[in-house]
Structure 1
């Protein structure tokens, strides 16, 4: 049987051998893009790999040092099959065993639409292409299994990860937001619009798929976390894992706390690996938390001169930790 998967795993990668892990030309076979993949997968013990090639190989995997590093993850091969047949085989197994799958191929081919999760990369660049690396990294973070404690209980989202605490008013738009039963929220600031800077934040976060968002805005208390998050563009909305406010809290006691206290209580509860807060309110932030906070201009928000650069610099430091 050309395809086998003996262990139950969370995620499966089906990878083209030629043009993805190694250049397609035989004379270039001493070049390998496997080291990048080894490092990219190191934090994710649940990911398993099936190697594919339309060429005809022996059933034994090629004897290469980096493949030996990947040996614990290798669960099968689909050598000699067409892309379609290989993906069909993987899909049949995925339906029973795997939570998420991604087929990374180096040559575009005709596949049934809507049936496969496929990433097509440049056959000359393979896994060395920054665009391919970013797409694969984003998939790894997006599909990661939920963290659980030693007793198997699901942990609060964001535990041990990078978190951005996000205010709306004075950050993503002008701070002068009014509320009306008929109109809902609206700005009392001519020339400005709600969420006018959301696209800028979305662009700043694109290189960092591992950063999650916790809403620290009053909008989460008024509309719920879900109701507030759905007003964001998809690139931000999909990152939201919670809010500093939730309905089980005594509302008045929460409202009476300054913003810094609200966020720091969530930090103690959520225990992120690192965090950054974007807020226009300079209240309740103790000195030892100041390095994690960027105070924005109430009118210009994150569009104020130099603020985007400060956010990018912090995200880069967070990424390196």
Structure 2
């Protein structure tokens, strides 16, 4: 199909910048309206289903091949360029853009307006546990035979007995593993390195989860992955002990609201640090008390 020729309309000069799917959908919708086509007729002409075109215009995701087909047949082009070059192009078209405002509007911590509340219905205490810099000092090195040693020269999991001891009075606490070992080893193999008393608490891992690019780029990828997991599972009581959970003050709907959920460890001391141990013990007491109170109210 040849590109659909838009009807000339000199009365408006819409900003062509699409910073999210909703804006992109609006631009596609505007193009269709200028062509004086309803969704069904436009979809038939392009060769996609009306549902696909409707999803695009509503700001919902579709396959990239279908998205580009719709753009091409509406005579729309997508350009990918640095912000500075986009500034020049937009200025030539009579538009300006404030990138700081755009980033602020897209940030989960600063989005304004009504928002559906996130119901954190799962009250089981959940501890996100790293290996390197947490259960031992230093980071793992894997040789050509698959043997693992630590760059610190220390023993692996030397601090694990401390965690076993802290969790002993709290049998309901579950563990989710966040270690980078999951990137190269099978999940079952990673769990097998733990002492049995910790291994049997493991209910999941973050294996296969990817941080959003902006967080990966600024070094807060692990924090993003853990936060996404916790919100996705609707966890109410959770704590992450990890030497890579940077930038926790930037996560959550309100800046700083999740800082208490992260214990950023010194990789040379891990959970042998007395301050870190106190944080963990305080959290265990807090969630145990809260769960006991809730059970008393519902009994």
| TM-score, normalised via structure 1 length | 0.46
More helix by share: 2
Instruction: Give the strand-richer structure, 1 or 2.
Output: 1
Q: Pick the structure with greater CA Rg.
A: 2
